[in-house]
Amino acid sequence: MFVPGHYRAPDASWMIEVLHDNPLALMTSNGPADGVPFATHLPSIPESLVTEAPDLVGSVLLGHLNRANPHWAALEDGGAVLLTFTGPHGYVTPTAYDYTPAAPTWNFTSVHVRGTVYKIDTLEETLDVVKATVKTFEGRFGSQWDMTESVEYFRRIVPAVGAFRVHVTGAEGMFKLSQEQSDPVRARVEQSFRAHADTRRQAVGDLMNRLPDPAGSA
């Protein structure tokens, strides 16, 4: 991913936050020699995070997908994959700039995680991945649903689930938040996001407010 210097993550915690709050990843990997790459949206959670590494090297992510998906059969242990996580984003209208001429743009946040994939072989460990995913998402997005009475049901459907680990070899975050604008213009753009009815756009404004260098520097 091409990331101009002034759009880079202030530190690794910003990338971890995107992974934490937006765990539906797009996993891509090489397809057939005469075809296009495989791409699958799937939930991903960290098994371990090396928070002191600026590019998250050494971290391990867990994921799963349907075994009937041709992408599963195409995955090979030791193969390279890319997980793309998309964070808050939104359209920037030139009316927020209060100057002309001007051009519209799109502010967005994204993290690309590169890694080596390893399939999980046993049904019991696959079940563990499913349970860990449910526990993580219920605690974060759900209502603390107790899965105890459904675990046997999970066991019946797990043979159709393909679980895997991704050992992270690098990560890049792009946080395009109007850093190229002057302080007054950037403040107006931030306010336009924070005043919007859409919560995702409000989140863009909140991130803009948290940037350590409002004027931006490469």
Tens-place pLDDT, residues 138-148 = 999 999 999 99
Is residue 217 very low, low, confident or very high in pLDDT (cuts 50, 70, 90)? very low
Tell me, yes or no, whether 24 lies in a domain: yes
- The pTM of this model reads 0.93
Which pLDDT score, from 0 to 100, does residue 216 have?
A: 44
The Cα diameter of the chain in Å comes to 63
How many domains is the chain built from?
1
Tell me, yes or no, whether 208 lies in a domain: no
Tell me, yes or no, whether 11 lies in a domain: yes
Average pLDDT rounded to a whole number, residues 80-106? 95
Tell me, yes or no, whether 89 lies in a domain: yes
Tell me, yes or no, whether 186 lies in a domain: no
Tell me, yes or no, whether 57 lies in a domain: yes
The CATH number for 50's domain is: 2.30.110.10
Which pLDDT score, from 0 to 100, does residue 215 have?
A: 46
Average pLDDT rounded to a whole number, residues 6-28? 96
